[in-house]
Homo-oligomer: A and B are copies of this chain.
Amino acid sequence: MPLLHPFPDALPRTDAFTRVVLATLEPMLDGGRWPLRRSLGEPVDVVAGFVTDGHDRLRAELVADHPDGTQTVLPMPLRYNDEYVAAFVPAELGIHTFRVRAWIDTLGTWAEQFRRRLDGGETDALLEAEMTDLAQTLRRWAKPAPKRAAAPLVAYADRLDAGDRDAAFEPELAALADRFDPRTGLIVSDPQPVEVDPRLATFAAWYEFFPRSAADPGPDGRPQPGTLDDAARRLARVRELGFDIVYLPPISPIGVQYRKGKDGALVAEADEPGSPWAIGGFLNDGAKGGHTDVADELGGLPAFERFVAEADRLGLKVALDIAFQASPDHPWVDEHPDWFRHRPDGTIRYAENPPKKYQDVYPFDFESNDWPALWTALKGVFEAWIARGVRVFRVDNPHTKPFAFWAWCLAELKREHPDLIFLAEAFSRPRIMEALAKIGFSNSYTYFTWRLSKQDLTEYATELWHGDKAEFFRPNFWPNTPDIFHQTLADGGRPLHIARFVLAATLSPVYGIYGPPYEHPEQTRKHATKEEYADNEKFEIRTWNWRDPSSLQPLMRRVNEVRRAEAALQQGRNLRFLDIANDNVIAYVKQDGASRVLVVVNLNPFGDAGGMLHFDPASVGLDAYAPFVAHDTLSGETYRWQGTEHVVHLTPGRPAHLFVLRQG
């Protein structure tokens, strides 16, 4: 902020030294070094603390510069405590900036004091002297302007000199002052950037599945390898369930050398498909394919293009998984050996976290002597998929690549394509995840999966949506992923799957599931030793029942319907936890205008739980003394409630209420 320099070593050099001080400015991220994040239509509420010496009045303005070169200038009225406020609503994607500015309100100060002199019964002589004083000021303002333009100002000066007291208070004079006051001592803040993303960055439901598991089973009931065409046939159902973004693990050719077998076995059988994250393998024509190729067994690039077309037709966005690492068969291993790190004997270093070794994965050497070419090639990977219609990317382990790379790469890509969305898959320490969010990732995976108790969930959600973090960190809540299947969720079966789904989808406006196994809690097992699924699709092809009324599919469809219908569920900062005296039951309310949603979830999958819920209807704008209706969108039941104490009771068979509230 352009506050006064702390250690001036000479008299201020301009004639007009600064009389106005910018004391505070919100919102702001690290002094303006990182952009605040908004999505289209989300307002930027700006509060600037300006002060000056003495009793002078200030005028303040908010100036917003938009990506298309247009500018919005808004007056900032004084609220209280020296705070001047205004808000603008970005209507365009990309980087907007705003500044605040203030100056001494010469006319307003004069008019206020003159009014008090009049009210105080001041002598005519003194009043006339003051009017002469103002007239002189107006003539000084008029001087540098073209005569014709300044004529109305001079006319006011003449009227004041002629003793016309009303002249000073006419709105036209205030308008002229707006134009002609030279704004001596104007102070302007540094520009504060605001990155405006598509709506899907702040409100979206993600659905992940493996395209190779999308085929129908064979006649023997065993899984058949699926292609992207099989996957495309599943999209209508994904849309029907109410999801917005369909996310595919990597679809590039998979390496053969050191290919992993079932359950991550170090040696794969000949017919095993390998892990999609081992990027770079052979194509049907014997050539090697890398990050921008599509595996032939998935149908190749043409099948992918058909997949995107079908998604477009349904209004679904396709999210691709970008994993910046290479299998030993990746074409760049031969073409650009410099892009990898080597041991003294000249062999390429595979990934390791001693004593663990990952011989199937070569990390890139971001500090290689040839790094500008490597970085440009990696950016090119995104560009290739963008050219094929992809706008959403899930980035694998971004925290093992330099922050400087991402800051550069994401900014470059967004400059051309401000509609891109990047989800950072960094299950790392808080400051690392925050740094990634600041440098450009639109969404972040979170610790939600491990926040199980009422207290942990409450504290974590409060940190995410009620702290400074909400200005840049946008959580994407996932109850499961191919890598993460929590013991508690496995043990908690269907009741806890329902509870955690409702939590993810209503606590966070952006959430996702690794769909097929989540839909069928009864058909999934946890790995014996790892916190992930057994028979893991990372290493083998599975088959799923894509239409199963006894699965969680109906629940998912219902919850996503309510999310779309209720504006209250489309944001995070309106979350407010409610008191209910039971450690196993969590309750919260969200409101946006007439949209009011109250959620109650039983965190104990093994027993009933209930209690007295304290909820004041007046806190969401309902009549405090009249009955109101709580419609449970999950069960279809409707309750008539009144007052602030309400009995709730949940069972393993019905672990959650998703109430929509309205005046009864």
**Which residues in A have some Cβ–Cβ distance to B below 8 Å?**
1, 3-9, 11-12, 17-19, 21, 23-24, 30-31, 33-35, 49, 51-55, 81-82, 95, 113-114, 116-117, 119-122, 129-130, 132-133, 136, 193, 343-345, 353-355, 367, 371-372, 375-376, 399-405, 407-408, 411-412, 415, 429-432, 434-435, 438-439
CB pair A431–B7 under 8 Å, yes or no, is no
13 contacts between A and B (CB under 8 A): A6-B33, A7-B411, A8-B408, A12-B404, A17-B402, A18-B402, A18-B403, A19-B404, A51-B432, A53-B400, A81-B431, A82-B429, A130-B343
Choice from B6, B117, B411 contacting A35 with Cβ under 8 Å: B6
Question: Could you say which residues of chain B place their CB within 8 Å of the CB of A3?
Answer: 30, 33-34, 438
Complex: chain B residue closest to A95, CB-CB? B7
Question: Could you say which residues of chain B place their CB within 8 Å of the CB of A17?
Answer: 371, 402, 404-405
Smallest Cβ distance from A430 to chain B, in angstroms?
7
CB pair B21–A1 under 8 Å, yes or no, is no
CB pair B49–A354 under 8 Å, yes or no, is no
* Chain A binding surface, main DSSP class: mixed
Complex: chain B residue closest to A1, CB-CB? B30
Smallest Cβ distance from A610 to chain B, in angstroms?
33
Residue among A51, A120, A375 with most chain B CB within 10 A: A51
Question: Could you say which residues of chain B place their CB within 8 Å of the CB of A116?
Answer: 354-355
CB pair B344–A23 under 8 Å, yes or no, is no
Choice from B11, B82, B343 contacting A375 with Cβ under 8 Å: B11
Smallest Cβ distance from A555 to chain B, in angstroms?
37
CB pair A24–B411 under 8 Å, yes or no, is no
Besides A8-B407, A116-B355, A136-B344, 4 new A-B residue pairs in contact (Cβ under 8 A), listed by A number: A8-B408, A81-B431, A116-B354, A121-B355
Smallest Cβ distance from A16 to chain B, in angstroms?
8
Choice from B18, B34, B114, B431 contacting A49 with Cβ under 8 Å: B431
Please, how many angstroms separate the alpha-carbon atoms of A361 and B150 in the complex? 37
CB pair A430–B81 under 8 Å, yes or no, is yes
Please, how many angstroms separate the alpha-carbon atoms of A435 and B399 in the complex? 40
CB pair B354–A432 under 8 Å, yes or no, is no
Choice from B1, B8, B18, B33 contacting A411 with Cβ under 8 Å: B8
Question: Could you say which residues of chain B place their CB within 8 Å of the CB of A367?
Answer: 19
CB pair B404–A18 under 8 Å, yes or no, is yes
Complex: chain B residue closest to A7, CB-CB? B411
Closest 3 CB pairs of A and B: A120-B355, A116-B354, A132-B344
Please, how many angstroms separate the alpha-carbon atoms of A31 and B129 in the complex? 47
Please, how many angstroms separate the alpha-carbon atoms of A411 and B5 in the complex? 10
Question: Could you say which residues of chain B place their CB within 8 Å of the CB of A82?
Answer: 429-432
CB pair A411–B122 under 8 Å, yes or no, is no
CB pair B81–A429 under 8 Å, yes or no, is yes
Question: Could you say which residues of chain B place their CB within 8 Å of the CB of A343?
Answer: 129-130, 133
Choice from B355, B400, B415 contacting A117 with Cβ under 8 Å: B355
Question: Could you say which residues of chain B place their CB within 8 Å of the CB of A431?
Answer: 23-24, 49, 51, 81-82
Smallest Cβ distance from A537 to chain B, in angstroms?
27
CB pair A11–B345 under 8 Å, yes or no, is no
CB pair A31–B411 under 8 Å, yes or no, is no
Please, how many angstroms separate the alpha-carbon atoms of A196 and B114 in the complex? 46
